């Protein structure tokens, strides 16, 4: 026999945030002064962008290793940090991709790995010839 629920029990409130979007950035480049712009490190710039656009994000400093092969077969690896943000608008996803492409250029990375929901993407530096 279960106890009756109290009459003044508070109801939970749930607010949908949208799809989860995750991206990875090399740890050693996040705070390096060589990659600073307008006196902001890459980490500070990411923080300002995500808080300014989405009001929240999660960053996991636990090292994650990323591996990838170049077209010539050479294998590269790096220790990455994970950033996670949620939003529902595809136009916001497009704006995040623009930001990450600029970040890729700034950090001298060929690409940044991104997942959104159950899809994955490589965001590459802007083509200077376009």
User: What tens digit of pLDDT does each residue of 41-95 get?
Assistant: 999 999 999 999 999 999 998 778 988 888 899 998 899 999 999 998 889 999 9
Q: Look up the CATH number of the domain holding residue 57.
A: 3.30.70.120
User: What tens digit of pLDDT does each residue of 109-125 get?
Assistant: 989 999 998 999 999 98
Residue 88 lies in a domain: yes
Residue 14 lies in a domain: no
- Domain of 69 in residue numbering reads as 19-124
Residue 80 lies in a domain: yes
Alpha-carbon distance 51 to 45, whole Å?
A: 10
Residue 11 lies in a domain: no
Q: How many helices (H) and strands (E) does the chain have?
A: 3, 5
User: What tens digit of pLDDT does each residue of 80-100 get?
Assistant: 999 999 998 889 999 999 999
pTM, rounded to two decimals: 0.82
Residue 33 lies in a domain: yes
Residue 112 lies in a domain: yes
Residue 79 lies in a domain: yes
CB-CB contact of 65 with 78 (8 Å): yes
């Amino acid at each position: 026999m279960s106890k009756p629920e109290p009459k003044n029990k508070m109801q939970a409130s749930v607010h949908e945030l949208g799809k989860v979007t995750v991206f990875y950035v090399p740890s050693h480049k996040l705070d390096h002064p060589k990659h600073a712009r307008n006196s902001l490190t890459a980490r500070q710039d990411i923080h300002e962008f995500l808080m300014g656009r989405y009001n929240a994000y999660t960053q996991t400093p636990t090292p994650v290793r990323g591996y990838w092969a170049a077209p010539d077969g050479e294998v590269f690896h790096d220790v990455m940090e994970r950033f996670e943000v949620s939003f529902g608008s595809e136009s916001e996803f497009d704006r995040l991709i623009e930001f990450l492409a600029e970040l890729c250029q700034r950090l001298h990375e060929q690409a940044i790995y991104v997942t959104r929901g159950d899809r994955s993407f490589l965001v590459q530096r802007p083509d200077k010839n376009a």
